[in-house]
Amino acid sequence: MSHITLRCTECGAVRDADMSALRCEECDSPLEVAYVDTAPSTPSPQPPRWAGAPIPLPLHDAVVSLGEGNTPCVEMAALGKLLGLRRLYGKLEFLSPTGSFKDRGTAVMMSVAREQGVTEIVEDSSGNAGASVSAYAAKVGIKAHVFAPASAPAAKVGQIRVYGARTHSIEGSREAATSAAVDFHVERGLVYASHNLSPYFVEGTKTFAYEIADQMQGDLPEHVVVPVGNGSLFLGAWRGFSELKDTGRIPRIPRLHCIQASAFMPIVAAYQGIEWTAQPGAMTVAGGISAADPPRLREILRVLRDSSGVALAVEDEEIIRWQRLLAEEEGIYAEPTSAAAFAGLESLVRSGHIGNSESVLVPVTGTGLKDAPPP
Amino acid sequence: MSHITLRCTECGAVRDADMSALRCEECDSPLEVAYVDTAPSTPSPQPPRWAGAPIPLPLHDAVVSLGEGNTPCVEMAALGKLLGLRRLYGKLEFLSPTGSFKDRGTAVMMSVAREQGVTEIVEDSSGNAGASVSAYAAKVGIKAHVFAPASAPAAKVGQIRVYGARTHSIEGSREAATSAAVDFHVERGLVYASHNLSPYFVEGTKTFAYEIADQMQGDLPEHVVVPVGNGSLFLGAWRGFSELKDTGRIPRIPRLHCIQASAFMPIVAAYQGIEWTAQPGAMTVAGGISAADPPRLREILRVLRDSSGVALAVEDEEIIRWQRLLAEEEGIYAEPTSAAAFAGLESLVRSGHIGNSESVLVPVTGTGLKDAPPP
């Protein structure tokens, strides 16, 4: 018997944990992992190289690992000073096997797939998630189909192909690639391993919070500022911090702030209570957060409320300026999506949401090496 | 008073440790760091996140860190089986802040530069070392000039520029870039922070060996197979393992094997006792080891002898084949230079230098993201 079930994030309906369940059968909302036995007789296998507080994971066997997690946390003294903060930390998520934090989620999602005997999966992505799924699929011996928009950057599609996934290039918007992936998985009867919908993917990203608690003992940051597209890292951080708080291992949860690009700001709009729809042909340099219709929007809004977080949008020119500042002041070559969080941080400081006596952590979610250098 | 001096690697002459010394004043050979006080009253500062055996370092202050080191060690079960080995491990050095193991050396070299009040440096590189020096120079606030051949890959030169180093593009061979860098540092009276000559750089790479001893306690590999151009990782590994053996923390030193590309095989030739000179216009896909005249050749030969290692060269087509195998079987996207070591490993197994009952570790030295995808 499994130590987990899947629970609807909205109506709370519970169902057995299997790999093909992505939405609630009652209300069609996304699912989350729920642990049945809070003190299981056989504890979950832990991530490799992890020596901190035990992390509940939806696994029975060891995680399929490419070396993800345990990313460094470095102080950014120059940028902290520039912003007038007590302390600024970057958690270098780009030091992940395929170059982004997505590897945390993929490792757990693909481990579950292996446990459940899955042999072929479908995913849609324009970049980091596709590369991540392709790499772990190679490691675990599962055939992967990755649907990407024809407009996706060649370097990112090249990386997806390198690991051996079959890539399907789809004309039209990012959403067209999602539709094509959904059609294909239904037609072929394959598992749709969507990083945006899979409850196992979000569950994997929570190790991010456990590591922060472990690395910053006694000086937990007051704020964590996250670039948000579909929100898997944002939601994973909340899940991790909540578990740590519930078990008394941290005294409080940092405020979790959500940064979007102004061309794709459905969460910011919902947070502000304004109408928003994507403009046809909308573009941003921050490709990792160009999500017009995040399926977990309501969960994200609850986390903003419960953690006293703020959602705001930033312009591309600010993103590019911060990408340069990160490289030239801190020696960190981040992708524009990561730089967006720093641009947002600047707004949060200017508007007084973050005070000068406070400490802030920002995940540097992806490497700059997959995009063209900043102009 | 400093706890270190610099010692000639050939004649043993000793001189004060400063940043501008690169060769022996007596015999012009390269220098190495020597520790004066084996039990210093104030121990060397340790790398961040390091909890293993104390590592002697040529520093007084904390190391300037971008999060280097503590790279994962993953078992490569599929390739291990393909080669018929007891165990095969990859140490993922590409999960370093700028994408290669060079960050280990640069972190220590630039930390020494900061301690000594250096404000401007010169380096020559066609890729990984240049990016690494540029990034750490940005972090520490030192102005960097990086001399690169005009033929260097655009992505690599782009990364060097991103961090703010002044790049100098030099027509002609890789050696022409070195000559131009040497002329420039003499002309301007600047420090030549050469990753090939600096004794501090090699000293920084020895943390690689300390981590292996820490991560593989009780199952230290019998063999470590290293791609070698100028040999800084190879020599650093030897220094680290030797210190660990001398202090009784490991029972034996793994055999250290040296893999080169057939177009650039000065070490293999010297090991075999044959004549060799680079062909005009010689090229290899393994740009990181295209070194025709490694200044530390004699040191490398001694390590081969003392560790019972073998030196051999591999062809480009084998390198490309192994780059694919790494991606498709293990989910690891390595640069061709790293794949060369695996191609060499295959030869070592076939020729019986490595037996089926033995365990092998190979550093995956750099990320594939900086080169074009394999053809």
Global ipTM: 0.95
pLDDT of residue B38: 57
Q: Pick A333's closest partner by Cβ from B74, B162, B373.
A: B162
Contact residues on chain A for B369, CB-CB shorter than 8 A: 99, 155, 159, 367, 369-370
Give the gap in angstroms from C-alpha A181 to the nearest C-alpha of chain B. 22
**Residue A174 is assigned to a structural domain of this protein:** yes
**Percentages helix, strand, coil for chain B, rounded to the nearest 5?**
40, 20, 45
CA distance A295 to A276: 15
Among chain B residues, the shortest Cα distance to A373 is held by: B158
CB contact under 8 A, B164 and A136: no
Domain boundary among A160, A192, A224: A192
Task: Count how many residues are written for chain A.
Answer: 375
Contact residues on chain B for A329, CB-CB shorter than 8 A: 138
pLDDT of residue A258: 98
- Percentage of chain B lying above the pLDDT 70 cut: 97
* Residue A344 shares a structural domain with residue A226: yes
Interface contact B136, partner A, CB < 8 A: yes
What digits encode the pLDDT tens for the residues A314-350? 999 999 999 999 999 999 999 999 999 999 999 999 9
Please, which pLDDT band fits residue A40 given cuts at 50, 70 and 90? low
Give the A window 309-338 contacts with B, CB below 8 Å: 327-333
- Whole-number CA gyration radius for chain A: 19
Q: DSSP character for A367?
A: B
Write out the two tokens for B313: 């060269």
Residue B281 clears pLDDT 90, i.e. is over it = no
Contact residues on chain B for A214, CB-CB shorter than 8 A: none
Among chain A residues, the shortest Cα distance to B323 is held by: A162
* Residue A272 shares a structural domain with residue A208: yes
Interface contact A52, partner B, CB < 8 A: no
Q: Which amino acid is at B339?
A: A
Domain boundary among A192, A222, A247: A192
The residues, any chain, with a CB within 8 Å of residue A154's CB and separated by 6 or more, are: none
Among chain B residues, the shortest Cα distance to A214 is held by: B49
Facing residues of B16 across strands?
A: B5
Write out the two tokens for A38: 């809070």
Residue B42 clears pLDDT 70, i.e. is over it = no
* Residue A78 shares a structural domain with residue A141: no
Write out the two tokens for B86: 């007891």
Contact residues on chain B for A96, CB-CB shorter than 8 A: 95
Interface probe, candidates A104, A369, A370, A371, chain B, greatest B C-beta count within 10 A: A369
Interface contact B99, partner A, CB < 8 A: yes
Average per-residue pLDDT for chain A: 94
Residue A185 clears pLDDT 90, i.e. is over it = yes
**Residue A349 is assigned to a structural domain of this protein:** yes
What digits encode the pLDDT tens for the residues A275-310? 999 998 899 999 999 999 999 999 999 999 999 999
Q: Which amino acid is at A158?
A: G
**Residue A15 is assigned to a structural domain of this protein:** no
Please, which pLDDT band fits residue B7 given cuts at 50, 70 and 90? very high
CB contact under 8 A, A95 and B95: yes
Q: Pick A162's closest partner by Cβ from B96, B163, B373.
A: B373
Max alpha carbon distance in chain B (Å)? 56
* Residue B225 shares a structural domain with residue B276: yes
Among chain B residues, the shortest Cα distance to A73 is held by: B67
- Percentage of chain A lying above the pLDDT 70 cut: 97
* Residue B82 shares a structural domain with residue B152: no
Average pLDDT of A137-160?
93
Interface contact B153, partner A, CB < 8 A: no
Please, which pLDDT band fits residue B173 given cuts at 50, 70 and 90? confident
CATH of the domain at B164: 3.40.50.1100
* Residue B179 shares a structural domain with residue B313: no
* Residue A79 shares a structural domain with residue A152: no
CB B345 within 8 A of CB B354: yes
CB A294 within 8 A of CB A328: no
CB contact under 8 A, B327 and A162: yes
Residue B41 clears pLDDT 90, i.e. is over it = no
Q: Pick B162's closest partner by Cβ from A74, A155, A374.
A: A374
Interface probe, candidates B162, B324, B362, chain A, greatest A C-beta count within 10 A: B162
Q: Pick B70's closest partner by Cβ from A70, A138, A369.
A: A70
Residue B372 clears pLDDT 80, i.e. is over it = no
Q: Count of CB contacts below 8 A, A vs B?
A: 123
- Cα distance between the two ends of chain B: 55
Q: Which of B132, B131, B133, B136 is nearest to B153 (CA)?
A: B131
Residue A42 clears pLDDT 70, i.e. is over it = no
Give the gap in angstroms from C-alpha B299 to the nearest C-alpha of chain A. 32
* Residue A135 shares a structural domain with residue A277: no
Average per-residue pLDDT for chain B: 94
Report the domain count for chain B.
2
* Residue B126 shares a structural domain with residue B153: yes
* Residue B142 shares a structural domain with residue B84: no
Measure Cα distances from B303 to B5, B92, B255, B269, B312 in Å: 22, 23, 9, 15, 14
Please, which pLDDT band fits residue A175 given cuts at 50, 70 and 90? confident
Provide the CA A158 distance to its chain's centre, in angstroms: 22
A197: number of Cβ within 10 Å: 19
pLDDT of residue A2: 78
pLDDT of residue A372: 74
pLDDT of residue B4: 92
Write out the two tokens for A54: 């035990």
Interface contact B98, partner A, CB < 8 A: yes
Interface contact A155, partner B, CB < 8 A: yes
β-sheet with B191-192: strand ranges across = B166-170, B143-149, B120-124, B191-192
Among chain B residues, the shortest Cα distance to A144 is held by: B328
Q: Which of B295, B289, B285, B309 is nearest to B225 (CA)?
A: B309
* Residue B181 shares a structural domain with residue B238: no
Q: Residue B186 belongs to what domain range?
A: 119-192
**Residue B39 is assigned to a structural domain of this protein:** no
**Residue B264 is assigned to a structural domain of this protein:** yes
pLDDT of residue A49: 85
Domain boundary among A192, A220, A239: A192
CB A200 within 8 A of CB A107: no
Q: Pick B95's closest partner by Cβ from A67, A74, A162.
A: A67
* Residue B305 shares a structural domain with residue B362: yes
Q: Which amino acid is at B275?
A: E
CB contact under 8 A, B74 and A95: no
- What are the start-end ranges of the E strands in A228-363? 255-261, 311-314, 359-363
**Residue B280 is assigned to a structural domain of this protein:** yes
